[in-house]
Amino acid sequence: METKKLSRVDYIFKPETNCIDTLKKVMTMEKEEFILELIDSGLKGRGGAGFLTGLKWKLAAEAAGDVKYVICNADEGEPGTFKDREILDRVPYKVLCGMALCGYIVGAREGFIYLRAEYRFLVPKLRKAIADLNVEFLKIGLTFSIDIRFGSGAYVCGEETALIESMEGKRGEPRNKPPYPVTEGYLGKPTVVNNVETFVNCVIIAGIGHQEYKKFGTDNSRGFKLFSVSGDCSKEGVYELELGMSLQDFVDEFGDGDTKAVQVGGASGFCVPRKKFPDTIIGFEGIPTGGSMKIFNSSRSMYNVLHNYLEFFEEESCGQCSPCRVGCQQLLKGIVAVKRREKSSPYLDELMKLAETMKVASKCGLGQSVGNAFVSIIENFREEIVY
Amino acid sequence: MSNSEILVKELADKYGRNRESLMPILQDVIEVRRYVTDEVLVSVAKELDLSAAEVFGTASFYSFIDTKEVGKYVIRLCKTIVCDMKGKDAIIGALESTLRIKVGQTTPDKKFTLFTTNCLGWCHKGPAMLINDEVYTELTPGKAIEIIENYMHK
């Protein structure tokens, strides 16, 4: 399997001087040509699910209808992720130009940033950038305007159809898929929903071309990615790294020398114990991540970690489907009962089965991914849960 | 018309009376009043021609749309794992003893409400909290108390 050495790159936070020029350049190209460029770059969505961005844009471009929408998913709620906040704070123009680029390609005239309520402090800066660019877009003959919509403290609204429901003034309960938003999204119209970082990557690819972009990363994980690094860590923060490194390299760089486990991909991701660091690739061939990397050293109780995650999911489950609503409650009650000796340790195997059931039976990504953290923590740290 | 009805009507004029205006209207009420009363929910339902149950169903889904009375300053301390590891319990202790309330309660003068919340996106600078829309990071018990004392004098 192809791997890469850990290396820092600097594309995303590079000063945003020529976004508008990049837009102008794309506007001289055939739309299909740019979509191919994006598909060839291999860019996969940076929010965590990893759908091929070029294909998403292609489907939206091909969808019938005069009215289409572009939505920037800035509902960054995955525990341990804070890179979108950093992007919106430091290079908002790149995000907005990425949205405009998408609008031009798929034929949408309106875009929305769905910003989580926790990030309202960014609003003055964003409003200014939007006002500036709405004028700039007109100047280069691009009919596209952007507005902000807000979340109100619901993690599940990061799921694209829940986000759309929320924008439509409803409870943030995920929809059945298909239809996918690219054909029936906001107000029933074709809609592209992309993560903040994805839009920035699109602008970068438009600027440097897919050949240059493809030099970074591996076959399955092209490009570079922002990582939100926190926990028991020598240098916490947001880092831009090439995809495809081993977790061992990552821990050598960021750990505090006593790393016991890393939670890759947030509460909905996987817990990797020390012995598996060398064989774990960070990327779509190993463990994909929206960027959340939480490092735990040997002083941490993995029971507390798991308990914290399950409390999180129990609160954030929208409650619409039973596997997730009831499953989260039972997993939490279950590990508490084992810890208190009210249940014997083989009960954990029952809970593992429940977690596996939730993976297949839950309606959306939230319920489907609760089992990731649960199973990987129990498998690797069973003794810490029991004793 | 009552004050609530006037407020809601103004907001409906601003955002429109479509269903998709519901969240912006509720969010603006929160900006002004910090929570939504039954009276506000009923007025919104009337303005947008929805059932009150639909409006309540939407409002109650979102943790930042409080449907019970809260104080002028709503404190939301992050309780997710990294802030937890970095000592959020000590911050809760400091806030509770300074404000003389428990998590979930409002001070008798209606000035502060203390909540815990899920990941605020400041893990690298935890523990973190919001007071209304303001973010405070890298808290220590001393720093948290100082911040609250500043708000007490506001």
φ, ψ of residue A143 to 5 degrees: the values are: -85, 95
pLDDT of A18 reads 84
How far is it, in rounded angstroms, from Cα A42 to Cα A46?
A: 12
Look up residue B67 and give its two tokens: 């449907």
Give backbone dihedrals phi and psi of A231, rounded to 5 degrees, phi first.
Answer: 105, -140
CA–CA distance from A215 to each of A219, A246, A307 (Å)? 10, 18, 41
pLDDT tens for A45-99 read: 998 889 999 999 999 999 999 999 999 999 999 999 999 999 999 999 999 999 9
Instruction: Give pLDDT, residue A17.
Output: 77
Q: What is the mean pLDDT of chain A?
A: 96
Average pLDDT over residues A137-156: 96
> How many other β-carbons are positioned within 10 Å of the β-carbon of residue A234?
11
Residue A3 has pLDDT above 90, yes or no: no
Residue A146 near residue A134 (C-beta atoms within 8 A): yes
Res. A350 pLDDT band, cuts 50 70 90 = very high
User: Percentage of chain A with pLDDT > 70?
Assistant: 100
Q: Which of residues 326-385 of A touch B (CB under 8 A)?
A: none
Query: With contacts defined as CB-CB under 8 Å, which chain B residues touch A81?
Result: 119, 121
- Which pair of structure tokens corresponds to residue A255? 């750990």
Contacts of A237 in chain B (CB under 8 A): 124
Mark yes or no for CB contact A80/B81 under 8 Å: yes
Burial of A30 (0-12, 13-18, 19+ CB in 10 A): exposed
Q: Which of A341, A329, A343, A345 is nearest to A381 (CA)?
A: A345
Per-residue confidence (pLDDT) for residue A48, from 0 to 100: 83
B4-42 CB burial, b ≥16 within 10 A, e <16: bbebbeebbeebeeebbbbbbbbbbbbeebbbbeeebbb
Answer whether residue A149 shows pLDDT above 80: yes
Grouping H, G, I as helix, E, B as strand and the rest as coil, residue A262 is strand
Is this prediction's ipTM beyond 0.95?
yes
Mean pLDDT across B3-28: 97
Contact A197, A24 (CB under 8 A): no
pLDDT at B69 over 90: yes
If you ran DSSP here, which 8-state letter would residue A299 be given? T
pTM of the model: 0.97
Q: Where are the beta strands (DSSP E) in chain A?
A: 69-74, 110-115, 145-150, 191-195, 224-231, 237-242, 259-264, 270-273, 292-297
- Mutate: best of B27, B85, B138, partner A, most A CBs <10 A: B85
Between helix A196-214 and helix A19-27 the angle, nearest 10°, is 70
Query: For A282, left (φ over 0), alpha (ψ -120 to 50), or beta?
Result: beta
Sheet holding B112-117, edge to edge: B112-117, B73-78, B129-131, B134-136
Helix H, strand E, coil C: the string for A333-373 is HHHHHHHCCCCCCCHHHHHHHHHHHHHHHCCCHHHHHHHHH
> What's the rounded Cα separation, in Å, for the pair B102 and A32?
59
Question: What is residue A232's predicted lDDT score, i.e. its pLDDT?
Answer: 97
Query: Do the chains contact at A312 and B61, CB–CB below 8 Å?
Result: no
Could you tell me the domains of chain A? 19-210 (3.40.50.11540), 224-297 (3.10.20.600), 302-386 (1.20.1440.230)
**pLDDT reading at A301 higher than 70:** yes
Pairwise CB contact (< 8 Å): A121 & B20: no
Which ranges of chain B would DSSP assign to H, the alpha helix? 3-15, 22-33, 38-48, 52-61, 81-85, 88-99, 141-152
Which residues in B have their CB inside 8 Å of a CB on A?
18-24, 26-27, 30, 57-58, 61-65, 79-82, 84-85, 117-126, 130, 133-135
Is residue A1 pLDDT above 70, yes or no? no
Task: Catalogue all structural domains in chain B, each as residue range(s) with its CATH number.
Answer: 3-61 (no CATH), 73-152 (3.40.30.10)
- Pick the residue from chain B with its C-alpha nearest to A231: B82
Q: Above pLDDT 90, what percent of chain A?
A: 95
Q: What's the mean pLDDT in B115-132?
A: 97
Q: Is the pLDDT of residue A20 over 70?
A: yes
Considering only CA atoms, which of B85, B83, B98, B92 is closest in space to residue B128?
A: B83
CA distance A234 to A231: 9
Pinpoint the alpha helices (H) of A218-317.
247-254, 302-316
Tokens of B4: 């609530």
Q: Do B84 and A82 touch (CB under 8 A)?
A: no
Least Cα separation, residue A376 to chain B (angstroms): 17
On the CB side of A190, CA atoms within 13 Å amount to: 22
